[in-house]
Amino acid sequence: MSGNTVTLHSGLKRTRGPDATKVTEMVSFSDTSGPAPSAVYVERELPQGGVPAYLAARRGGARSFALWTDEWRRERVATVVTLSAAGGVSTYQVLGAYGEVVGTITREKALRGKGLRTRWTVHPSGASKAVGYKGRIVWWWLWWPLLPFMLVLLLATVLDSVPGNEGGMARAPRRIRWRAEGQVPLEFRSRGNKLHLHSPGVDWRLGAALISLLRSFHADAWDASPV
């Protein structure tokens, strides 16, 4: 399946001094022949109370991001806000530059929502919902019995692993394939942390918001910095 590939590059341009105010998280697009730009920049949008208030809210599932055209925040292209976050179920809304609704994304934590696996529902504005589950159920059944061995393997692979694949096979299943009306419009692949937009009808802003949300729930969450 072809389509655009969306990748979040975290902290690649951290600087000190006059450039310290730059946005340091970039979302890139592999195919810019359509409406998508080559990249946008994403940062957490802090509430009143600053970083401590944001971190306290995110522990309950809340997230708030701003997406910009460049690292200097010259133009906002999208915003991610939390509509609700309680009981392991969080719903986010993606808004365009003028406040228009681009889509809604819901995360239902494993054993808290409608199944044994974490469920992500993506509902583009004016289109059908796409539902995806974290990992294939067969890999979860294989992974859990081997968890004690996996913990040892995890330590070894963290100490000797390739960038972007820390944890290797010891890492819990993370691949997600979304299905809507018999199609697979979206797919997240854990190797390389890439989101594939297989359907040309998926709004690139929704794709950028989704990869930002997905990566915020990983062990190396880009938005969890205490500063």
65, 223 Cβ separation under 8 angstroms = yes
The amino acid occupying position 138 is V
pLDDT in tens, 139-166: 444 544 555 554 544 444 443 343 333 3
132, 176 Cβ separation under 8 angstroms = yes
Measured CA to CA, the distance from residue 71 to residue 21 in angstroms comes to 9
- Return the minimum-mean-pLDDT range out of 8-12, 83-87, 160-164, 198-202: 160-164
pLDDT score recorded for residue 92:
98
Q: Which residues contact 21 (CB under 8 A, 6 or more apart)?
A: none
Any idea which residue has 């906002």 for tokens? 76
pLDDT in tens, 184-196: 999 998 778 899 9
pLDDT score recorded for residue 140:
45
Q: Please, is 214 exposed, middle or buried when counting C-beta atoms within 10 Å of its C-beta (0-12, 13-18, 19+)? A: buried
pTM of model > 0.75: yes
If you write DSSP's letter for every residue of the chain in order, what string do you get?
Answer: ---EEEEEE-STT---GGGGGS--EEEEES--SSS--SEEEEEE---TTHHHHHHHHHTTT---EEEESSTT--SEEEEEEEEEEETTEEEEEEEETTS-EEEEEEEE-TTTSSSSS-EEEEEETTS--EEEEES-HHHHHHHGGGHHHHHHHHHHHHHS--TT-TTGGGSPP--EEEEETTEEEEEEETTTTEEEE-STTS-HHHHHHHHHHHHHTSTT-TT----
R_g of the chain, CA atoms, integer Å? 18
pLDDT in tens, 79-116: 999 999 999 999 999 999 999 999 999 999 987 656 67
The amino acid occupying position 29 is F
